[in-house]
Amino acid sequence: MIYTRTALTAIWTAAGAAFCLGALRSLMILLSHASAAAAIREVLTPALLLAHIIATVLAIVVTLDLPRGSAMRRAWWLMSASGASACVRYIVEWIAEWSNWTAATEPLIGIRQIPGVVALILLVASLSLIWMSFARMGIGLSLRSRDLLAILAVVVLLPPIVLFRENLADAGSMYSAIRHMQFSQPFLLACSGALAIVLLHISEEVGDGQLSRSLKYLAWFLILRLVLMMCAIVPAIQQIVPLKVVRGGCNGAMPWLFTLAIAYRWKLVADARTALGQVWARPAQEVALPPPAFMRK
């Protein structure tokens, strides 16, 4: 169990460092230190890619531990695929950075929207399946009025984003497919944000534990992502200088929040395996019980 704790400490540290670097980069941009900002970006982009690679690998480990044919396993396959798709997106971003591409100089940069949108679609499908799996056990079905209000708040965030969607990075792409993909992102993010509220409700309903913690981090990642998108494109919010620094930090740390959510779920698997190993190692008699259904398959 020590190695799981060490891994989580490392991810927390990386998240903290990414926040500081992101905030520092925003500060450098504000102070017109373009070269310093560019240097920080050269560190941040591979860090974001690393966050998604770690999340994808851990998500695959979690997937393989779930019973075959179950909705939860399908959900985690989709989550892993979403992580892999996000990795592709950050690889494209990294290549663009190395090649000094911008949306204005190189229209091909718009292809980053393809893995980005695919990742979001897969994530929404995964979250829906996770909800379905909990609902089969009677969990996450009775949303309270405050949950419904929170979902309403998520929906309220959508009109400003749609209104200022022209400010999105690839909104001016010469390829209409890329523009459409970019415009679909706010809706997909709103869907994932609404599902995040449901996940938060589920995390409270299941009670304190590793599963609950993982769901909470996943929910906060999805909500933060939606809020950051709104902060990035609504001009009135863009102008608030202190918020720019905080937003830069959050942008850097946000993918690590996703990694943390997956890592806490992976820790659950690793801890259960360690405990199982200890139980097996105990020389003891036991009553032969029929194997559970998931073992018979």
Binding site for other proteins (CB under 8 A): 62, 65-67, 70, 72, 133-134, 136-139, 205-212, 268-269, 271-273, 275-276, 279-280, 282, 284-295
| SS3 state at 100 | coil
For other proteins, which is the closer residue by CB, 180 or 273? 273
Nearest approach in angstroms of CB 287 to other proteins is 4
* Residues whose CB falls within 8 Å of the CB of residue 15, separated by 6 or more in sequence, listed in order: 253, 256, 257, 259, 260
For other proteins, which is the closer residue by CB, 236 or 289? 289
Query: Whole-angstrom Cα distance, residue 297 to residue 274?
Result: 23
What is the Cβ-side half-sphere exposure of residue 240, based on CA atoms within 13 angstroms?
11
For other proteins, which is the closer residue by CB, 2 or 287? 287
| SS3 state at 237 | helix
For other proteins, which is the closer residue by CB, 74 or 112? 74
Nearest approach in angstroms of CB 220 to other proteins is 17
For other proteins, which is the closer residue by CB, 18 or 202? 202
Nearest approach in angstroms of CB 73 to other proteins is 9
256, 18 in Cβ contact below 8 A? yes
Helix 210-233 to helix 176-206 angle (10° resolution) is: 140
Nearest approach in angstroms of CB 207 to other proteins is 4
Nearest approach in angstroms of CB 137 to other proteins is 6
Give the DSSP letter of residue 174. Answer: S
